[in-house]
Amino acid sequence: MSKKKFLGEKIAAHRDKLKLNRQEFINKLNELLGTSYSAQALYSWEKGKSIPPADLVPPLANLLEMNMLELFGIDASEIENMARDNAEHILEIQKLRKKVEAQEREIQRLGGKLEATESFMDKLVSKLRNSEELGS
């Protein structure tokens, strides 16, 4: 089912629950907002032929006595679960970033030791060569 059709069916079902025909409902909406939508516009929304303008969604949901999440078929507990999961993921990302930063610092520290070791080895090899040359 298309999103337009789903939204339209929600609007129609909740309007029916309020026991209002299209004209009565659109009159209430127009009175609330100071607009001049027609019953034909409401029919078009309910049949999924078009969707209400975005700025109309909050008052439309309010008039239908539902929240916007319900209007779009989103369960509030799903949103809470997603928010909780996101918070957990953010914490995990922060922990991983700290580990990466610690590993980068360790790599820099070891890199410095490696350079010092290479320098020491070069000097040692040079001294060994010099002593071999002197001994020969």
The answer on pLDDT for 132 being more than 80 is no
pLDDT of residue 12: 96
In a shared domain, residues 110 and 51: no
82 and 133 both lie in a single domain: yes
Q: Report residue 30 as tokens.
A: 């127009």
Query: Which pLDDT does position 115 carry in this prediction?
Result: 83
Q: Which domain holds residue 12?
A: 3-71
Do both 61 and 80 map to the same domain? no
**Which of 71, 94, 124 is the C-terminal boundary of a domain?**
71
pLDDT in tens, 96-128: 999 999 999 998 888 778 888 888 888 888 888
Mean per-residue pLDDT, 13-39: 96
- Output the pLDDT for position 136: 60
Task: Provide mean pLDDT across the span 60-72.
Answer: 90
Same domain, 45 and 83: no
| In the predicted structure, residue 76 carries a pLDDT above the cut 90 | no
User: Would you give the end-to-end CA distance of the chain in angstroms?
Assistant: 93
| CB-CB neighbours of 4 under 10 Å | 15
Q: What's the pLDDT at 135?
A: 67
Final residue of a structural domain among 71, 102, 123:
71
Whether 29 and 54 map to the same domain: the answer is yes
Q: Report the percent of the chain where pLDDT is more than 90.
A: 62
The number of domains in the chain is 2
Please check whether residues 61 and 82 belong to one and the same domain. no
Q: Are residues 109 and 85 in the same domain?
A: yes
State the pLDDT at residue 2: 83
Same domain for 53 and 83? no
User: Is the same domain home to 79 and 67?
Assistant: no
CA 85 to chain CA centroid, nearest Å: 11
- Mean per-residue pLDDT, 37-63: 95
| Same domain? 59 vs 106 | no
What integer is the mean pLDDT of 123-134?
A: 82
